[in-house]
Amino acid sequence: MSDPRRSIPSVDSLLASTEFGPLLQRYPRSRVVEAARGAIGEVRALVERGQTGADVASPSQYARDAERSLAASDVPSLRRVINGTGVVLHTNLGRAPLAAAAVDAMVAAARDYTNLEYDLDAGARGSRYEHCASLLCELTGAEGALAVNNAAGALVLAVNTLARDAGVVVSRGELVEIGGGFRIPEILERSGARLVEVGSTNRTRLRDYEDALSDGSVRAILKVHRSNFRITGFTEEASLAELAGLAARHGVPLVHDLGSGLMIEASEVGLTVEPRPHDSLAAGADLVTFSADKLLGGPQAGILLGRAALIVAMRQNPLCRALRVDKVTLAGLEATLRLYRDPARARAEIPTLRMLAASEPELTERAERLASSLSAEGVRCRVVEAASAVGGGTFPEVELPSRAVEISGPSATELARALRDGDPPVIGRILDDRLVLDLRTVLPGQEVDLVRRVREAVAGTAPS
Per-residue pLDDT tens over the stretch 430-443? 988 899 999 999 99
- Based on the domain organization, do 444 and 388 belong to the same domain? yes
Amino acid 248: pLDDT = 95
Q: Is the pLDDT of residue 85 over 80?
A: yes
- Based on the domain organization, do 129 and 184 belong to the same domain? yes
- Based on the domain organization, do 182 and 134 belong to the same domain? yes
∠ CA 338-274-263, rounded to 5°: 5
Give domain status of residue 372, yes or no: yes
Amino acid 336: pLDDT = 98
91-148 pLDDT per residue, tens: 999 999 999 999 999 999 999 999 999 999 999 999 999 999 999 999 999 999 999 9
Distance CA 392, CA 271 (A): 14
The three-state secondary structure class of 121 is coil
**What global pTM score does this model have?**
0.89
Q: Cα-flanking dihedrals φ and ψ of residue 118, to 5°?
A: -135, 125
Distance CA 453, CA 458 (A): 9
Give domain status of residue 134, yes or no: yes
Q: Is the pLDDT of residue 2 over 90?
A: no
Distance CA 79, CA 75 (A): 8
Residue range(s) defining the domain that contains residue 411: 82-90+354-461
Largest CA distance in the chain: 96
Distances (CA, A) of 359 to 38, 270, 348, 365, 370: 53, 9, 13, 10, 17
Sequence-distant (6+) residues with CB within 8 A of 31 are: 70, 73
Give domain status of residue 1, yes or no: no
- Based on the domain organization, do 328 and 378 belong to the same domain? no
257 contacts 199 by C-beta, under 8 angstroms: no
Distance CA 305, CA 288 (A): 5
Sequence-distant (6+) residues with CB within 8 A of 428 are: 84, 85, 407, 416, 419, 435, 436, 437
Higher per-residue pLDDT: 4 or 339: 339
CATH number for 278 = 3.40.640.10
CATH number for 376 = 3.90.1150.180
- Based on the domain organization, do 315 and 397 belong to the same domain? no
310-363 pLDDT per residue, tens: 999 999 999 999 999 999 999 999 999 999 999 999 999 999 999 999 999 999
- Based on the domain organization, do 271 and 343 belong to the same domain? yes
Q: How far from each other are the two terminal CA atoms of the chain, in whole angstroms?
A: 37
59-81 pLDDT per residue, tens: 998 999 999 999 999 999 999 99
Q: Cα-flanking dihedrals φ and ψ of residue 226, to 5°?
A: -80, 75
- Based on the domain organization, do 246 and 334 belong to the same domain? yes
Give domain status of residue 333, yes or no: yes
Pairing of strands 254-259, 218-224: parallel
- Based on the domain organization, do 276 and 360 belong to the same domain? no
Give domain status of residue 2, yes or no: no
271 contacts 284 by C-beta, under 8 angstroms: no
Q: Is the pLDDT of residue 394 over 90?
A: no
- Based on the domain organization, do 237 and 341 belong to the same domain? yes
192-203 pLDDT per residue, tens: 899 888 888 788
Amino acid 254: pLDDT = 97
Distance CA 56, CA 62 (A): 9
Pairing of strands 434-438, 400-407: antiparallel
Kindly indicate the confidence band of residue 395, based on its pLDDT and cuts at 50, 70 and 90.
confident
Distance CA 111, CA 36 (A): 37
What's the domain count of the chain? 3
- Residue 383, strand partner residues: 405
Dihedral (C-alpha) 36, 40, 45, 51: value to the nearest 10 degrees? Answer: 110
The three-state secondary structure class of 35 is helix
